Amino acid sequence: MTIQLGQIAPDFEAETTQGTLRFHEWLGNSWGVLFSHPKDFTPVCTTELGETARLKPEFDRRGVKVIGLSVDTLDRHAGWEADIADTQGHAVNFPMIADPDKKVSALYGMVHPEADPSITVRTVFVIDPAKKVRLFMVYPPSTGRNFDEILRVIDSLQATDGQKVATPVNWRPGQRAIIPPSIPDEQAKALFPQGWEAERPYLRWVGTKA
């Protein structure tokens, strides 16, 4: 299945390390990050899961629920989580989906046969409270993900939704943003009464809230 931006994230029921859940119901009104791992007891994923556990307060602060997926079974997840806590210094504090039949993996297009038909690639989906897919990133099995970038993108999505702006290259919260070209000057005056700096007619800079 090919998932595109703006589509409703497919719903599913799955067994996880925190019990059986229905994905949309579990998300509720929160943002969500769903990310896959090739299989249990893999070194790169071990570091990623430890880092995600460390960053959970940052996800919580943004109203984001995190859930992982691996094609192994719950009993293997339990053993792997013990290793993660021991080697990374942070116990996994979010649910991990057990997907041995690859139903969820197939639903979200996480298995890329030309890469390896037996495992999932490192896929990340960011889903908004309306259950729409707002971002997806696909990493090869050999490359660990940058979770600072995932948080940065979530900050951008939340800022652009709430403040009607677009964010420039390498943007961080509190830095200036861009008024989208779709907003004409007359409408921009109402949205941004503080004014803006027009470097070009199409490049209008405005401050953002931290």
Residue positions annotated with a catalytic role: 45
- 56's tokens: 């959970």
Q: Which residues contact 192 (CB under 8 A, 6 or more apart)?
A: 179, 206
- 28's tokens: 């509720």
Backbone angles phi, psi at 96, to 5 degrees: -120, 125
Quick one: CA dihedral 48, 53, 54, 56, positive or negative?
positive
Residue 142 CB coordination number (10 Å): 9
